[in-house]
Amino acid sequence: MSVGGYYSDNICLAPNNKEGKAVATARPDVSVTGRGARGNVNLQAAVEYNSLGDSDLECETGQASQLSNRKSFIPSVRFNSDYELVEEWLQVDAAASARENSLNPFGPPGTGNGRDNTNIVYDYTVGALLQRRLAQTANLRLRYAYNEQFNDADIYGNSDEDRVEFDLDTLPGQGRFSAGLGGQYSKINYEATDFQPAFDNELSNAEFRLAFQVLDSWQINGLVGEEWNEFTSQREDIDGSYWDVGIRWTPNPRVEVNVGTGERFFGSTPRADIRYRHKRSELSASYVRTLTLPRTLRGSDAGLVDPSDPFGPGFGELPGDLLGNEGQPTFIGNSPVLDERFELRYRFEARRSSVTLSASDSRQQRADDGSEATFSEAGVTFTRSLSSTLSANARLRWYEREGQEVDGGNFGGFGQDSETWVAGLGLTRRLGNDTTLTLAYQFLTQESDFALNNYDENRVTFNVRHAF
């Protein structure tokens, strides 16, 4: 349980006529893990209350008035479970989540503070997995899943998805060659909103995979396939043949490198994934160019959040921070998106100090009208233990948003380029074995080509957290 609050000298994020205000916060969170012979369950949940949502504060400037959506309660939920109904044959599973993201990724941030630019995404998935070993040489996998996603903001609308996946692969360890067949079909239905009529997208593909284990540490892999898609696009071709070829290098258990390239209807598809883990350090870097959906980006874990500890100090997060954005930034709307994404994370931990570095760059293009946007961010966080009960931290973050609308596009007035810097200092003191006290200062400044989105803010945060 965490209780506390913060004082902001510019609660409306206004370019002038700043107004100061104190906001109270409270947040219970819980983590539950269950393991059994035939089933598993995991739950991590929190809900944060802030007094700003119920206040009579009126912001005349600094907010996108057409997107006003202030919240008193910000949830964060991750739940997944599975149960084996028939041993080595049939498994059922369920998952659910709730997370906050910015309503307009180009506008003033609504990050964990109940300000107007806030959307809450709720979704759940239920599925069944049929898998069976065939003749001791292959493994058959057939899965069906149904997913629904609800957005608190009407501008996005709700949607549901039916997905079927099929895989038939040779068993590992049968020789240097391995092969497989796979395919999937997905249909997504979108409800009508004030900004779009009801419509649906269909994505399907079938492929043949082949891999050759050259050495214990070297593998060559590739695939060829065909895809059939139905969605609105400015391109003449949105389906057809595709291929990919790459290598996998694992010189030891601490290092794994996967690189490759391929071709799809939208062009080349280079990819890279590098992971390194040592006793005191951890590094991961990835690059991919693929087709995805805004509903997938909004409902995903943020790239700079540590998924193993979402409510404690995450990857670059600090004790006492408010619940932040958990979805990836993307366009307003539901058109499929071509996403070229780079992500980097590095963490080093010494006996009394730790440093985390994180960066991401996502260059997106809408399929329906060709509008483009770039979402970039980078940050560094340093923590130092000053004594057995006292620690200090410092951080610096940078965000950049750029939007480019094509003639006749649907990008609307939401394409304000902006650059944001956030700097902070904090102290955390341990009071007994289960209680911590945090005091922090943060300075935020943003420059934008939209005058009302230029602002500075000084914030002081106080927080007490007790674990049961």
Query: Which helix H or strand E contains 234, and what residues bound it?
Result: none
Per-residue model confidence as pLDDT tens digits over 377-427 = 999 999 999 999 999 999 999 999 988 766 544 444 455 688 999 999 999
Number of domains in the chain: 1
pLDDT at 303 over 70: no
User: Poorest-confidence range of 192-201, 311-320, 335-344, 457-466?
Assistant: 311-320
Q: Taking 90 as the threshold, does the pLDDT of residue 287 lie above it?
A: yes
pLDDT band at 67 (very low <50, low <70, confident <90, very high): very low
Q: Which residue did the predictor score with more confidence, 290 or 174?
A: 290
pLDDT recorded at residue 354: 93
What is the per-residue pLDDT for 81? 95
Check pLDDT > 50 for residue 173.
yes
pLDDT class of 154 with cuts at 50, 70, 90: confident
CATH number, position 139: 2.40.170
Q: Encode 379-426 in three state secondary structure.
A: EEEEEEECCCCEEEEEEEEEEEEEEECCCCCCCCCCCCCEEEEEEEEE
Q: What is the pTM of this model?
A: 0.89
For residue 309, give the H/E element and its range: none
Better pLDDT: 201 or 196: 201
**Residue 352 domain boundaries:** 2-466
Mean pLDDT confidence for 37-59 = 87
Residue 227 has pLDDT above 60, yes or no: yes
- Segment 190-198 shows an average pLDDT of 87
Query: 262 falls in which pLDDT band (50, 70, 90)?
Result: very high
Q: What is the mean pLDDT of the chain?
A: 87
Whole-angstrom CA distances from 298 to 99, 193, 291 are 9, 17, 15
